[in-house]
Structure 1
Amino acid sequence: MEENKQQSEQVNDEVQDDQEVVEPEVEVIDETETVGEATSNSEVEQLQQEKEELQNRLARLQADYDNFRRRTQKEREADRKYKSQDLVNELLPALDNFERALQVDVQDESTKSFKDGIQMVYRQLSDALEKEGVEVIPAEGETFDPQIHQAVMQVEDENYASNVVVAELQKGYRLKDRVIRPSMVKVNQ
């Protein structure tokens, strides 16, 4: 009997060994994980797009700021360069009056010394304006240029070529490279 028992145990052991089911490793996919990954992927894409938009906006703002800084720098330089323009515009009529006074013929000595005084003041004023960068625009004998000349009369003169300034009626002035008053001229047809 004992032998039967042993055999029976052996058979049971073998059956148990055979009955042991090898369970394959099956990965159970949790649906919440895939939905979460999809959600996080779309969030990541959205955040990346938002980041790119912000970087583009930042680049535009930096460019705008650089342009603003350059423009204000140019404006400051122009202000410094032409700071005396208003004063020069106010002084030009006085300079014209000095020139007219100097064209008067004088006969006696007292008037001559007065004219010499006017000449001296005129020279000082002209020198001061020249130091500020004011220069007279050449006119007579020059080709007419509408940028620097203002034609108020046209004449026919055989001594001059066509479109040449025949006479200057009022001097024109330039402050550095800017015309502050064009020359009033007669132009040959």
Structure 2
Amino acid sequence: MDQDNNQHEHEQEVLEPEAAETESVETSDEAGADFENKTREELLEDVKRLAHMADDYKTRYLRAQADFDNFRRRSRQEKEEFATYANVKILEELLPVLDTFDMALKTQEGSDVKMLLAGIEMVHRQLITTLGNYGLQEIGAVGQPFDPNLHEGIMQVESAEHPANTVVEELRKGYKVKDKVVRPSMVKVSQ
């Protein structure tokens, strides 16, 4: 008996969508009949109304397109301006380093070499500190395993004190900012 009820419910579900399709066909037929019942003036009025709506949509579309073009232009200008002035802050912080260099160069000709060396060391410390404030870090090299992502090996040398494939000597320091290598270390590697 439950099977008969389930089968009867299923048949009703199948019949209901067919009834909905028939209703929509009848509705469109009524709209067609409504179209045929309209007078010429009513049809012309509908055409004017639809033409006005089409003009309104076209105007809205053109305004949206113009707004988008203006947005793209402003974004491009802002990017160019940012790129132009992005380095101003770091340059401002490097100016004291330049001032210290100027003071070191203005030392008297007969002045002590130790004073000149102390001035150069001070400039070096200032420069390292300023660049470090922007995330610049020295890449450790000597005694480290050779890593082609961090080191640029220019030659291999025999070494009794270092295991194979280890950096023996650093010829030029390498630097990175966070995980991005700015310049790899130029190194000699043990065989």
- What's the TM-score, normalizing by structure 1? 0.48
Q: TM-score, normalised by structure 2?
A: 0.48
Between structures 1 and 2, the one with greater helix share: 2
